[in-house]
Amino acid sequence: MYSGAMPKLIIANWKSNKTEASVKEWFAGFDATKVPAEAKVIIAPSFHLLSETRRNLPDNLALCAQDVSPFPMGSYTGEVNAQQLKAAEVNFVLLGHSERRRYFHETHADVAAKISEAITNTLVPVLCLDRDYIKAQAAALSVKDVVNLVVAYEPVAAIGTGNNASAGEVEEAIKEIKAVFGNVPVIYGGSVDEQSVREYLMITDGVLVGGASLDPHAFQKVVAGAQT
């Protein structure tokens, strides 16, 4: 499990972007030897790009999926399950991202079922939360599930808008999250870029980066911000 004393988690959430060819190009432009020891860089591509990303992934980086099936292996057409992700050498999985809640109508119960599947298969869930449903999402989880988890504080108004949350707001949200989930690692996501990353890393266990992760050079600068 990750704690504040460990490297900061810097997760590149590529969302529904890139192709096999552009994954290769991205890695050609990203210098993993320059990742500071203070950072753990994690790449989250679409499902169909996991194996191409794994092929290109330097040893000091880790792999993350953007979602997982709420069901185990079986007759669930179109789903990718946690056992399959584990076999594909995935380490982390984003769950309950606000875009999934908004466009795919994921409920707290859906997210809880996905977390159970992830934990059963020893994937680390990165549970994305906005402030107004911290308690409701926690209430939907079983006690067992709450132990092994990273929480990403992701204010919807800050995602993809350039309106990144203030450090004070993030600190308040972290307090609320820890009051409910205990001392879990908490990262921040929402318009993080090379300018804002240092401020967030001083008060969080890491960052979830969307737009600024798509270009390898821009992301390299975000990652450099972990150097103390």
Q: Which residues bind ligand PGA (CB under 6 A)?
A: 13, 154, 159-160, 189-192, 208-212
Which residue number, 14 or 181, has a Cβ lying nearer to ligand PGA? 14
Of 138 and 208, the one with the shorter C-beta distance to ligand PGA is: 208
- Does residue 144 sit in helix, strand or coil? helix
**Which candidate in 97, 99, 106, 117 is catalytic?**
97
**Residue 19 vs 161, nearer CB to ligand PGA:** 161
97 belongs to the catalytic site: yes
Nearest approach in angstroms of CB 187 to ligand PGA is 10
Closest by CA to 170, choosing from 187, 182, 195, is 187
Q: What is the 3-state secondary structure (H, E, C) of 42-102?
A: EEECCHHHHHHHHHHCCCCEEEEECCCCCCCCCCCCCCCCHHHHHHCCCCEEEECCHHHHH
Cα distances (angstroms) measured from residue 191 to each of 26, 155, 214: 20, 10, 13
Of all residues in this chain, which one has the CB nearest to ligand PGA in the complex?
210
Q: Which of 52, 106, 117, 154 is catalytic?
A: 154
Q: Min. distance of Cβ 115 from ligand PGA in angstroms?
A: 18
Q: Which is nearer to ligand PGA, 82 or 126 (CB)?
A: 126
Cα–Cα distances in angstroms (integers) from residue 122 to residues 38, 141, 163, 222, in the given order: 24, 17, 35, 28
Residue 12 CB, shortest distance to ligand PGA, in Å, is 9
CB of 191 to ligand PGA, least distance (A): 4
What are the φ and ψ backbone dihedral angles of 10, each rounded to 5 degrees?
-120, 105
Which are the catalytic amino acids? Answer: 97, 154
